[in-house]
Amino acid sequence: MTLPRARPLPQAADLFGDIEPTPKARLADHLPGLLVALLAVLAAAFLSASYGLPLPLMALLVGLALNFLSGDPRLVPGLAVAAGPLLRLGIVLLGTRIAVADLAAIGAPGLGLLLVVILLALGSGVLLAQLLGFSRWFGLLAGGSVAICGGSAALALAATLGDRRVPRGELTMVLVGISAVGAAAMALYPALAAALGLGDVAAGFLMGAAVHDVAQAVGAGAAVSEGAARTATLVKLTRVALLAPLLLLVAALAGHPHGRRVGVPAFLLGFLAVAAASAGGLVPEALAARAGQVSGWLLALAIAASAMRSPMRDLLAAGPRPLLVVLGASLVALAVALSGALLLFGRAA
């Protein structure tokens, strides 16, 4: 008698208990997968430092290149830990990047415009996903990633929604789309700002409001001027600060697939607690900086592990449609952010 083949472990958090329990494994069973994921991130870090590209993008590409290893059962427990518990720990530590001052410094008009950009990016993601035949949860994942902070938001949203609502293949497609569009935005948006004659504040607002990844947004602002880089950093970190309320909203909207009430997931409570402590000035700057670095490495580890475990056959079968959702939401964010920047800050004198 042949035993049925075990289904791969979930790569996102099982918030609602709607997938089978994770098989028990000894500590030593996790080491091969964790070691492979760590080596992938180290290779990604080397490529990132060598070519000046974001670490999450390099982790994604290296992970996809190692996707052929996903069939090795010895790697499954460790990769599941990297893409599950370690991902949630990275999200908790991400709270150290939150500061209330970021929300206040851009002023009420700028904050209002930023909220409009976020809401329209979210809404367009959901609408485009449903028009192209995807679920509203995929649209929420893609739109939320565009609206807040790219790959970090995608991982946090996927962990909140659970594996049944957002399969690992869909998460990987969003990560691919976010990385591709973000890289293009970092190269093209400064040229667009220069062609339109935007001032430092307007250009910085555009980069901070429309570019996905923090490093890419800051880099795009720096390509314009030092002043634009400061504004881009401020606006971008304000978007990051809005990740907490977005996750709470998503957790409330998702509910339980069988109608049962559930509480807020533990990792989200941890994120909110760390964010509140950081915003209240209770976390020393040196500790916050170190925690932010650890968070970046853990998220890169989760991205590499998720990419290694992604079903490539499903990714190829989906074609370019998932990428169109990310691209469409990104263009909406660009149009709204650019229009608002021109309206609020105008062109350079």
Q: What type of residue sits at position 201?
A: V
**Domain residue extents for the chain:** 31-344
Lowest mean pLDDT among 72-81, 147-156, 239-248, 251-260: 251-260
How far is the C-alpha of 201 from the C-alpha of 149, rounded, in Å? 20
Percent of the chain residues past pLDDT 70, beyond the cut: 83
Higher pLDDT, 348 or 161: 161
Max mean pLDDT range (32-36, 200-204, 298-302): 32-36
Lowest mean pLDDT among 60-69, 260-269, 321-330: 260-269
How far is the C-alpha of 325 from the C-alpha of 252, rounded, in Å? 24
Q: Does residue 263 surpass a pLDDT of 60? A: no
Q: Which DSSP string do the residues of 81-94 spell out, in sequence order? A: HHTTHHHHHHHHHH
What's residue 83's pLDDT?
79
Higher pLDDT, 245 or 139: 139
What's residue 121's pLDDT?
94
How far is the C-alpha of 49 from the C-alpha of 302, rounded, in Å? 19
pTM of the complete model: 0.67
Mean pLDDT, rounded, for 22-41: 84
pLDDT band at residue 8 under the 50/70/90 scheme: very low
Q: Does residue 101 surpass a pLDDT of 70? A: no
SS3 321: helix
Which residue is associated with the tokens 């093209």?
188
Percent of the chain residues past pLDDT 90, beyond the cut: 24
Residue (of 119, 127, 227, 159) closest to 16 by Cα position:
159
Q: Two tokens at 254? A: 């998702």
Alpha-carbon separation of residue 135 from 127, 132, 167, 230 (angstroms): 10, 9, 11, 38
Contact 79, 309 (CB under 8 A): yes
